[in-house]
Structure 1
C-alpha cells in the first residue's frame, strides 16, 4: 500500500501558505516524508476520479463528514478508509463520539514511518474483514427476504388449493423446476398476482 489519496474539508496543504511547522503536520507532508505517493483533494467529483490509482484514502475530516464521503468513495472504488486524527479534526468531532462511522484505521501527525506502515497494514486487513462481514450480512438478509416471499406464497396456495404447507412447498418447487426459475421468483410472482387480484376485487366491491 504505497499510493494514498488524502481527502480534506479545507484547501489541501500543498495549495495553502503554511508555516513550516504547520506544513510538517499535514498528512501530505508526513506521508510523503515516509515514502508514500500522495494526492489530495477536497472535491468529491475529483476524488472519484483520483481514487482509481489509490490503495487507500486518508480522511482529514471531522467524523460527522466521513459518512457522506465514505459512501461516495466506496461507490467509486472499495478501498481502506483511514482517519487522519490531528488536533483540528479531533476537536471538530467531539459531538460525534457516538456516531456509527465505518473507518478501517487511524493515523496521527506524530506517527513514525513504521507506525504508519503498521497502521495502514492493519487498516487493510480490517477493510477486508469489514467487506466480508458486509457481504455475509447482505447474503443473510437476501435469504431472509427470499424466505418471506416463499412463506407468503405457501400461505396463498394453502388457502386457494386447500393443501398443507408441505404440499404447497412441493407445488412451488415443481413449478420452479418446470419453468426453470428460482423458487423465490415463482413465489414472488404468485404473491404479486394474488395481491393484484385482491386489490381489483376490493375496487369492484367499492363501486357497487
Structure 2
C-alpha cells in the first residue's frame, strides 16, 4: 500500500497564522515514502479513487458520513481518519456515529506506526467487506425462509395438513419443476394473495 488519496472538503484547514504548526497528512505520508493525492471536494474523488490503495479523510468526524456513501459504493478500499486538533473538535455524539472507518492516522506517527496502521486498516477493510457480504446472505436467507413459512401455512390451512407435510409438498413441487424452493413458495403466496383480494 503506497498510494493514498487524502480527502478534505476545503483547502484551508486553519488560519494562515497557524499553518506553520500544522502537520498535514500529505507531508507526513510523503516524508515516509508514500504517494499522496489530494481531493478537496466530492467532484474529483471518483477519478482519483481508481489510483489509490487507501483513503485518508482529513475531515471532522461528522463530515465523514457525507463521503462514506460515495467511497463505499465506488470502490472498497481502506478508509482512515486523520485525527488532528482540527478534525477532533466534534462532540462526543459525532464519534458515536456509524461509519466505515478502518483506522486512524495522527500527526505524531513515525514510519513504523504508519506502516502498521495502514496494514491493520487493510485487514479491517477486508473483514468489513466479508461481514457485509455475510450479512446480505443472512438477510436473503431470512427473506427466503419467510416466503417458505408463509407458503407452508397456506398449504397446511388449505389442505388441512401439518406444516411438515406442507413442506414436503413444497419440496416435491420444487424438485419436479426444477425450481428453487423459495421460488415455488413465493409463487404460492402471491397466487394466494391475488385470490384473497
Pick from 119, 122, 125: which aligns with 1:124? Answer: 122
Q: CA deviation at 1:119?
A: 0.5
> Which consecutive residues of structure 2, in runs of 5 or more, have no partner in the other structure?
none
In structure 2, the partner of 1:36 is 34
SS in structure 1 at match of 2:27 = helix
How many residue pairs were aligned? 195
Q: CA deviation at 1:145?
A: 1.3
Say if 2:84 is the partner of 1:77: no
In structure 2, the partner of 1:57 is 55
Distance 1:170 1:17, change over 3 A: farther
In structure 2, the partner of 1:203 is none
* Distance in 1 between residues matched to 2:19 and 2:60, nearest whole Å: 22
In structure 1, the partner of 2:10 is 10
Q: CA deviation at 1:93?
A: 4.8
Q: CA deviation at 1:17?
A: 11
| RMSD (Å) for aligned C-alpha atoms | 2.0
Pick from 152, 155, 158: which aligns with 2:153? Answer: 155
> Which consecutive residues of structure 1, in runs of 5 or more, have no partner in the other structure?
200-208
* Distance in 2 between residues matched to 1:105 and 1:138, nearest whole Å: 24
* Distance in 1 between residues matched to 2:170 and 2:119, nearest whole Å: 49
In structure 1, the partner of 2:162 is 164
SS in structure 1 at match of 2:86 = helix
Pick from 76, 83, 86: which aligns with 2:84? Answer: 86
Q: CA deviation at 1:161?
A: 2.0
SS in structure 1 at match of 2:104 = strand
TM-score of the superposed pair, with normalisation by structure 2: 0.91
Q: CA deviation at 1:10?
A: 1.3
In structure 1, the partner of 2:132 is 134
Contact conserved, 1:150 with 1:188, CA < 8 A, in 2? yes
Q: CA deviation at 1:141?
A: 1.7
SS in structure 1 at match of 2:88 = helix
Contact conserved, 2:10 with 2:41, CA < 8 A, in 1? no
Distance 1:55 1:151, change over 3 A: same
TM-score of the superposed pair, with normalisation by structure 1: 0.86
Q: CA deviation at 1:18?
A: 8.2
Pick from 96, 99, 118: which aligns with 2:94? Answer: 96
In structure 1, the partner of 2:112 is 114
SS in structure 1 at match of 2:127 = helix
Contact conserved, 1:62 with 1:93, CA < 8 A, in 2? no
Q: CA deviation at 1:176?
A: 1.3
- Give per-residue Cα distances to partners, 1:101-134, cap 9 Å, x unaligned: 2211000111111111110011111111121122
